[in-house]
Amino acid sequence: MSMHADRLRFAVFATVLLVLVVAGCIGFMLLEGLNAVDALYFTIVTMSTVGYGDIHPISQAGKLLAVVMILAGGGAFIGVGASAAEMILTRHERKSRMDKLNMVIGVFFSEIGSELLARLEAMDPDREGLERDIAVDGSWSVRDFRKARGRVEGLGRGLKPSCDDLAVLNDLLTAKRDFMLQLLENPTLLEHESFTEMLRAVFHLAEELTLRGDFTCLPESDCAHLAGDVRRVYPLLAARWLDYMLHLKTSYPYLFSLALRTSPFARDRSVVVLD
């Protein structure tokens, strides 16, 4: 069951419980002449089936109301408790799955993603603007990451890869073809639609380039078609990279430090730690 469904069920049970508590308080105040505090106390102990016995209904109507509150309220109490426990378990399981998924995404960027993004960035005529707007800094906040995500939506519109650029991309993607196939077979990735969409776009580009073989005599129309495939990959890849960098900054500072030093958008990339 999804987290949304768990929250909806919890909200329904909580609403029913609240309505029963309010109705019980009003009923016991009217039927038994209890004050508000005693009515609330008696309603809660009745619905929870604790029944201390220090307060009990005297009138026939009060006794009937107590029976209704026990039957309906007990179920509502159990429903709220069960829903809350299921929400906690679901959140824990989802976090565990996302941690495993982010490990797979990290392997992707280590193996090919960062290098591919660096190659695409090198073809971009707006390189200086990208280094200013997207090159992640160690002081970035969540707001800075969101702002950068907005910047990558229009990424690559002016990108026109040359025949040499296409050949370089083909060599890189061909060398990592088996690795990407293994990623596509990973069922964990199905839970991350945006990453799967990006991976499919990368794999499609790899197929298009592999089937060409020779890039020196392609007609202009075919080069334009391949350029469109490249421009499709570029913003998707950059957006997933920013998401991954935010995850590292939030959860794994030591991995974030290395990712910063090898950022594909940094002008002077160096894994060596400098002052």
Full 3-state SS string of 5-63: HHHHHHHHHHHHHHHHHHHHHHHHHHHHCCCHHHHHHHHHHHHCCCCCCCCCCCCHHHH
| For residue 2, pLDDT beyond 60 | no
End-to-end CA distance of the chain: 50
CATH number of the structural domain 3-91: 1.10.287.70
**Sign of CA pseudo-dihedral 217, 199, 179, 117:** positive
**What was the pLDDT predicted at 267?**
65
DSSP 190: G
**What was the pLDDT predicted at 274?**
66
| For residue 232, pLDDT beyond 80 | yes
| For residue 269, pLDDT beyond 70 | no
**What was the pLDDT predicted at 268?**
66
145 within 8 A of 242, measured Cβ to Cβ: yes
What single string gives the DSSP state of each residue in 153-180? TTTTTT----HHHHHHHHHHHHHTHHHH
The mean per-residue pLDDT over the stretch 211-233 comes to 88
Which one has a higher pLDDT value, 275 or 264?
264
So where are the chain's domains? 3-91, 98-261
pLDDT in tens, 166-187: 999 999 999 998 888 888 787 7
pLDDT in tens, 16-31: 888 888 988 998 898 8
**What was the pLDDT predicted at 205?**
94
Sorting pLDDT into bands at 50, 70 and 90, what band is 67? confident
Angle of helix 163-175 relative to helix 177-184, nearest 10 degrees, comes to 60
- Rounded distance between C-alpha atoms, residue 68 and residue 158, angstroms: 70
Length, in residues, of the chain: 275
The mean per-residue pLDDT over the stretch 225-234 comes to 93
- Rounded distance between C-alpha atoms, residue 273 and residue 275, angstroms: 7
pLDDT in tens, 70-86: 888 777 878 888 888 87
- Rounded distance between C-alpha atoms, residue 189 and residue 159, angstroms: 29
- Rounded distance between C-alpha atoms, residue 10 and residue 6, angstroms: 6
Sorting pLDDT into bands at 50, 70 and 90, what band is 102? confident
Which distant-in-sequence residues (6+ apart) come within 8 Å of 33 by Cβ? none
pLDDT in tens, 28-61: 898 888 899 988 988 888 887 777 677 778 888 8
The mean per-residue pLDDT over the stretch 206-223 comes to 87
Which tokens in the block code for residue 130? Answer: 């990208």
Angle of helix 193-212 relative to helix 220-251, nearest 10 degrees, comes to 150
The mean per-residue pLDDT over the stretch 197-213 comes to 90
Which tokens in the block code for residue 267? Answer: 């002008």
Chain-wide mean pLDDT for the chain? Answer: 84
- Rounded distance between C-alpha atoms, residue 80 and residue 78, angstroms: 6
Which distant-in-sequence residues (6+ apart) come within 8 Å of 126 by Cβ? 158
223 within 8 A of 163, measured Cβ to Cβ: yes
pLDDT in tens, 122-148: 888 877 767 677 878 888 898 989 888
The mean per-residue pLDDT over the stretch 150-157 comes to 80
Which of 133, 212, 111, 106 minimizes the C-alpha distance to 165? Answer: 212
Q: Is the pTM above the cut of 0.75?
A: no
